[in-house]
Amino acid sequence: MKFSDLLGMSIGNLFRRKVRTLLTIFGVLIGTASVVTMVSIGIGMKNLNLDLQKSSVITKMIEVHSQADYGASDSSSLEKFINDKDIAKMAAIKNVDVATPYFEVSVILKQGVYVSDAQIIGVTRAFLEKMPLSQGTIPQKGSSELELLAGGELNLNFYNPKVSQYATYGNAPDIDFMNKTMFVIYDTGAYYSSQQPSDAALPSQGSGDPLESKVVLPPKKYIVKTSGIIEADESGYSPFSSYGAYADIDILKAQLRKYMKNKVVPGQPETKNGKPYKTFVYSRALVMADDQSHVEEIQNTIKKMGFQTDSILEIIKQQQKQSNLIQTALGMIGGVSLFVAAIGIANTMMMSIYERTKEIGIMKVLGCDMAKIRDMFLIESALIGFIGGVVGVGLSYFVAFILNSTNVGYTLTHQNGNISIIPNWMGLVAVVFAIMVGMVAGLLPSLRAMKLSPLSALRNE
């Protein structure tokens, strides 16, 4: 009996009981689709993490934290802050490209009727040069005027105080950083005091004079230029602060000394008498390595200096480990479905043998080779695995399309990209694996059919 004859007989026998065969194929289909989909999600998550790792700027950055308590004001805590000498030591570490203070100053930005509680972040010019811009340029070298690099979503921080409504993505205010005049107010405390009706006219007792009204005047506002806007992706994400503005730290400190005379700059510690210190200190700093491979080494060196460090590379490595565990777990979950499908194939083949016992006996009496009988049942079970595998892979591609088109990847990982990736080899391997599962599940029933006694089979009704 030729293989083509066996194949024809197997196909005919399979569809004698169409509903039972289709249900068995459906079980293999679901099992195959589960394995492929689960593994593809694991691959997609790993690739998203790798894409993040390829972002050279963010993965080379190290965030350094001081040991000072937040809001500490005594002189003993001053030593725990990061100072300019510490920054110089960090910059001198081997394989460090840039080291900068991360000097955050709370200010009020105004344009037209809109106001924003914003953060101006002072960094070195060398760090500013690392920032990708969507518009404009970095501040001019040698300029004594403060120029800002606005975050891509800084406009969402603006609101109209008359309606007290903050902006949303669908209702962003018309803020033109590049072409319209922007004002900055450094003395935020005085600004808010001047906005309170209850503080607008406070009674004060003069010596022998009648009560006079003490009016809190609004603080001075200064024109500030925006030289550029920091680049962000479609979702607004940027490795740099999207809601703040960056500036040259030397110019920013010079302006603060000029405009905040004898006043404590917001975010800076103060003496026990409530006076500002003569030098600026920082609670954070940023260090950029010249290559990703040196990040861990630089972190260890900075930790020995007594500071705490964080880097996105540490998070990525943890995510990669988690992705591997998730991929294994998802594959095992899909494997359970395929195992259940294998039981279904074995059950279908056993039922087929019981129904065709007499037919098997006739084939043996006519001299059919025992191996051919075994092969016939193995081909039937392999066909179930093949059909279920092919349709299951097709279903997997459809599920992957749905997941990727609905941007599930960004929801889970905050990275743009496909969350489900099915390599070309995976579809082929899945079909071959489904065929093998079918043949293994049909092996025992086929051996039983081969061992049936011809006389017992012929007597079977």
CA atoms in the 13 A half-sphere facing the CB of 370: 8
Task: Give the three-class secondary structure for 133.
Answer: strand
Kindly give the confidence (pLDDT) of every residue in the chain, 461 residues in length, as a single tens digit, with 9 standing for 90 and above: 565 656 666 666 666 677 777 888 888 888 888 888 888 887 877 777 666 555 557 788 899 998 775 445 454 567 788 999 999 999 999 999 999 999 999 899 999 889 999 999 999 999 999 888 888 998 888 788 899 999 888 888 888 887 765 555 556 788 899 989 899 998 888 888 887 765 444 444 444 444 444 566 788 899 999 999 988 766 556 677 788 899 999 999 988 888 887 788 877 888 777 788 888 889 899 999 988 888 889 999 999 998 999 887 777 777 677 767 777 776 777 777 777 777 877 777 776 666 665 566 666 555 566 666 677 777 778 888 888 889 989 998 998 888 888 877 666 655 667 778 888 888 888 888 888 887 787 777 666 656 655 555 455 55
Query: Residue 172 corresponds to which tokens in the numbers above?
Result: 């962003």
β-pairing, 165-166 with 245-248? unpaired
What's residue 250's pLDDT? 92
What's residue 236's pLDDT? 58
Q: What is the DSSP letter of 193?
A: H
* Domain ranges, ordered by start, for the chain: 3-54+318-459, 67-200+210-306
Query: Residue 306 corresponds to which tokens in the numbers above?
Result: 């007594």
Contacts of 70 (CB under 8 A, 6+ apart): 283
What's residue 321's pLDDT? 76
Q: How far apart are CA 104 and CA 125, in angstroms?
A: 15
Query: Residue 303 corresponds to which tokens in the numbers above?
Result: 């930790």
| Nearest in space to 131 (alpha carbons), one of 227, 42, 271, 199 | 227
Q: How far apart are CA 461 and CA 451, in angstroms?
A: 18
Q: How far apart are CA 183 and CA 223, in angstroms?
A: 4
Query: Residue 244 corresponds to which tokens in the numbers above?
Result: 């703040």
